[in-house]
Structure 1
Amino acid sequence: MPPAEALNPNPNNTMKPLNVETKPPSNGHLAPPPEDAPATTKSALYAYRKIILVASIAIGLQFGWALQLSLLTPYVQLLGIPHKYAALVWLCGPISGMIVQPLVGYYSDRCTSRFGRRRPFIAGGAAFILVAVFLIGFAADIGHAAGDDLSKPSKPRAISVFVVGFWILDVANNTLMGPCRALLADLSGTSQKKTRVANSFFSFSLAVGNVLGYAAGSYSGLYKIFPFTRSQACDVYCANLKSCFLIAITLLLFFASIAIYYVTERPISADGKFVAGTGDGDEEDDEVEEKSAAVAPPPTACGGVPFFGELFGAMANMKKPMIVLLMVTALNWIGWFPFFLYDTDFMGREVYGGVSNGGTAAELRMYARGVRVGALGLLLNSVVLGFASLGIETFSRWAGGANRLWGFVNFILAGCLGLTVLVSKLADSNRQYGVGGVLLGPTAGVQAAALLLFAVLGIPLAVAFSVPFALTSIFCNEAGAGQGLSIGVLNLSIVIPQLVVSLLAGPWDALFGGGNLPAFVVGAIASACSGLLALTMLPSPSPEAVGKVAVGGFH
């Protein structure tokens, strides 16, 4: 699943800014400034309110994504998929990143719906997420109703429902996220101040969604708020997961509905021109529209080279700095993706000594407890990431350039992934047992060490979510290339390693006796190589240029 591109005026392939308006309030909500305020002040405040509404959609979206990262790999194993095949479920991420994102960007620019270019995709994405959440949350119940035997460790019908829901969720996330960013770019126009505000609020919303999602995933009693979630086929872990996703979809539908209702778009006609007579009287917006030529290639005139052809054409003509950047990024994500796949599974399996399927009641209980503690570790990771992202420009200056900063933190990533082996060995050698040999949790020192690793990884993650996108933007400006096209090329250097890791991580782990450590060790080696390459071959722009680019997110 590719990371969310840093917000820019053309974030997803061909998505180009389009002027957007807001419905005049009829019930006191989103009230404009007083009539005696200066016209420019009124218009600016009104525009910022629209930006906040659209950026808030990311809270619900990222809440669900945090649950997906922390809970779903363990859950699919609880349903009966062996550990070595669990990563294959995540193949939908890189595949949808390579196909869905560019297609949504392409057709979003050319959408002639009377509701605008972006809102139909936002509404459609939210609707598909609702369907996906239902399938994932109720997979065990649907599987049992279809004939799954609860006494057997594997539930094939529940697994089938879950996998379908998982893939729909991933495609829907990409369908929704790209147009949200594009709508923010539409609202920002060419104003650098509005773009910075949009970046800030979007990043803030992602952080809030992350923290809330991981907090919900770490709480074991959430199902008590929704007692109907527990059933014969759905145990406490399953009921908690179901409750978390019910909260996620409620948040998403709430924020998306408000944004879709209040923030309207001026539709375009088949020839790419604004449709007359659909505004709300905003003079500043009208002035922007009058200066706009054809805002997008019209649907009837799309005979140019398709985006994928442009993408591979751009790769054939890349300059050396961009080639090195793609190599560093690819190695970096070979390091990151095993952690994203197995972070909470590592906590439940290696640290807490539990098993995901086929063990004793105590081992299953320890695994579920470890997964919840892993979600707490991801919450700490998000908090550190948020604070670290505020200092990217300062850190770049201290390090002597963005390339050196990225190189240094990649060695931190390599060290943390390598230290998972030490933490696992300490946990195993200090395993505690109660009366009758019942497995107990790890020592306080082992728990603290594991949580510290999760938290420290927030520092290199903040850099990974910002510096590559900043450097891509800068290098493509220097080469005179298109922003959207260059981000698309960078996206390939992220999703292709994810595809490789999804295919090979499980069998590689099984080759060395199971568990997550072999994939982590490979990730550590790749991260060290990435750091070395960044320090020795990657050119660096000024820290100020890097600091102007917003933090992205993992999608």
Structure 2
Amino acid sequence: MKKRTLGFWEIWNMSFGFLGIQFGFALQGGFMSRIFQTLGAGKDDIPLLWIAAPLTGLLVQPIIGYFSDRTWHPRWGRRRPYFLIGAILSSLALFFVPYSSVIWMAAGFLWILDASINVSMEPFRALVADKLNESQRTYGFVVQTLIIGIGTWVASNLPWLVSQMGVSDSADVGVVPNSVKVAFAIGAFVFLLSILYTVFTTSEYPPEDMEEFERERKKKSSFVSDIINNVGNMPRTMKRLGVIQFFSWFAFFTMWSLANPALTEHVFKTPAPDKMEYNMSIQEEKEAFDIANTSFQKASNEVGSAMGVYGLSSMAFALLLVLYTSKRRINRKFVHMAALITGGVGFLLMNIVTPEQLKYCFILIGVSWGSILSMPYAMLSSSVDEKKMGMFMGLFNMFIVIPQIIAAVGGVNFISGLLGDEAINAMTVAGISLIIAGISNLLITNKSAITYQPS
């Protein structure tokens, strides 16, 4: 099918739902560890509590990709029904997660939240490939990244912002502060509203041959066998991109799960207090705990705010790419390699920065994040069968979730433990991993993946 060239605002409208998706991911990534610590989790327990996120992605994204490829509704299209269902469930989970009273409840909400976000996210990736011709795909994924950057920055600053507006950071032992509760409620509202905006402003192309589409859809086939067959026939470029994705997402999972304990302890010198070290029946001890806990919560706000800067710098990086790729082609491989190495340096610098300098580390990390959200998908979309775009986008998620699972079940604790007991060592591991990911771009040799070549 000949796809017409879309204007900026059409691409913006079809990508706008990612603002809400990123509100969900930024609040989850920036503050779930803080919630776990508030409820009493130790820093070594946190990665395993995070295992819900990659496991749900591993299960949900290929399934949603498979079924969205086989969906067509005259009014709602192929991908949009999944956006909407995921948005409703995600908004409910976002609202209730900070009201968790025990660790297992917070972990359960994380399962629900991440599964729901994945229901919305995977079809958004496929929609770009569905709607845009080959020459516009880099541009389309970069516009998505621009919106993601906006969402990351705003959402990461929400607890700090509502705290500045007078909402309390103090709370009883084991209770999440009101500043976090209000921030998550705002995130739930933005998530649903932004998805609805895309659903009602964006149309989708129908299948090129409806009769053939219906025959394929009704063909008796096993979902599991189809998945296994497509894994076995995975394009070589996709496998090589998988190596890059493995080290990239190992690094970012390490950041999301352990940046708060690492940076509050090493940079701000205000680790989460252990209530077992305080005798709560003695007033002075309780007051000392409350002071230490409030200091930790405020430092966590600052960490979240600093993390938000990576969304801002990824947005700036994406904007530069939008302006450039709207008129010219780029070498995706070398852009991605340079961006990942830049982010790796940002992680390594966390060992020596002051609280005031921390934002500069996240500026560098944002460059890599902006590239991670666009370049691999642009390279992948030039390397796979368009009729199976949803399926392959879902399978590509394996290279995102497997490294996170490995990190969660002890990988990051083991590797960082080789460097010592300090929490900041986890950020060093993230930096080294991201640099390896950057160098791994040298594996990509497919010319179409590296730079779109018009026929």
Query: How far 1:499 sits from its partner (Å)?
Result: 0.8
Aligned position for 1:457: 365
Read off the aligned partner of 2:48 and give its amino acid letter.
Answer: L
Q: CA deviation at 1:79?
A: 0.5
Q: Taking structure 1 as reference, are residues 251 and 529 closer, same or farther at Cα in structure 2, changes over 3 Å only?
A: closer
Deviations 1:445-502 (A, max 9, x none): x12332211111112222222222222233447xx99544543443222211111011
Question: Quick check: 1:527 aligned with 2:434?
Answer: yes
Q: Deviations over 1:220-245 (max 9, x none)?
A: 526746x8x9876786x621110001
Give 1:363 deviation, angstroms: 3.3
Aligned counterparts of 2:82 and 2:238: Cα–Cα separation in 1: 32
What pairs with 1:423-502 in structure 2 (closer than 5 Å)? 423=353, 446-476=354-384, 482-502=388-408
Q: Partners of 2:220 and 2:429 in 1: how far apart?
A: 45
Q: 1:339·1:520 contact (CA, 8 Å) conserved in 2?
A: yes
State the secondary structure of the residue aligned to 2:445: coil
Q: Quick one: which amino acid aligns to residue 157 of structure 2?
A: A
- Alignment of 1:420 onto 2:328: no
Q: Which residue of 1 aligns with 2:117?
A: 173
Give the aligned length: 436
Aligned to 1:159: 103
Match of 1:37 in 2: none
Query: What whole-Å deviation, never above 9, does each CA across 1:83-106 have from its counterpart, x for those lacking one?
Result: 111112221222122111121222
TM-score of the pair, normalised by structure 2:
0.79
Give ranges in structure 1 of 5+ residues lacking alignment: 1-8, 10-16, 20-39, 144-157, 266-284, 424-445, 549-555
Name the structure where helix makes up a greater proportion of residues: 2
Q: What RMSD over aligned residues (CA atoms) do the two structures have, in Å?
A: 4.2
TM-score, structure 1 length as denominator? 0.66
Shift of 1:130: 3.2
Alignment match of 2:150 (pick from 208, 213, 227) = 208
- 8 Å contact kept, 1:470–1:546: no
- Report how far residue 127 of structure 1 moved: 2.6
Larger mean Cα displacement after TM superposition, 377-386 or 321-330: 321-330
Q: Aligned partners of 2:387 and 2:13: how far apart in 1?
A: 32
Greater Rg over alpha carbons, structure: 1
Give the match's secondary structure for 1:457.
Answer: helix
Q: Secondary structure at the match of 1:340?
A: helix
- The whole-number CA distance in structure 1 between the counterparts of 2:446 and 2:140 is 26
Q: 1: CA distance between counterparts of 2:161 and 2:241?
A: 40
Work out whether 1:73 is the aligned partner of 2:33.
yes
Partner in structure 2 of residue 381 of structure 1: 310
Amino acid corresponding to residue 220 of structure 2 in structure 1: G
Amino acid in structure 2 at the alignment position of 1:534 = N
- Deviation for aligned residue 1:542: 7.2
Q: Are 1:102 and 2:10 an aligned pair?
A: no
Distance 1:132 1:547, change over 3 A: farther
Deviations 1:320-371 (A, max 9, x none): 5444332233223323321232223322121111122326444323322222
Alignment counterpart, residue 83 of structure 2, candidates 122, 125, 130: 122
Contact 1:403 1:540 in 2 (8 A): no
In structure 1, C-alpha distance between the alignment counterparts of 2:69 and 2:207, rounded to whole Å = 19
* Superimposed CA distance per residue, residues 372-417 of structure 1 (whole angstroms, 9 cap, x where no aligned partner): 122222222112111212345969xxxx944334333433333333
C-alpha spacing 1:365/1:220, structure 2 compared with 1 (3 Å): farther
Q: Which moved more, 1:483-492 or 1:96-105?
A: 483-492
Helix, strand or coil: the match of 1:84? coil
After TM superposition, the structure 1 stretch with the greater mean CA deviation from structure 2, 504-513 or 247-256, is 504-513
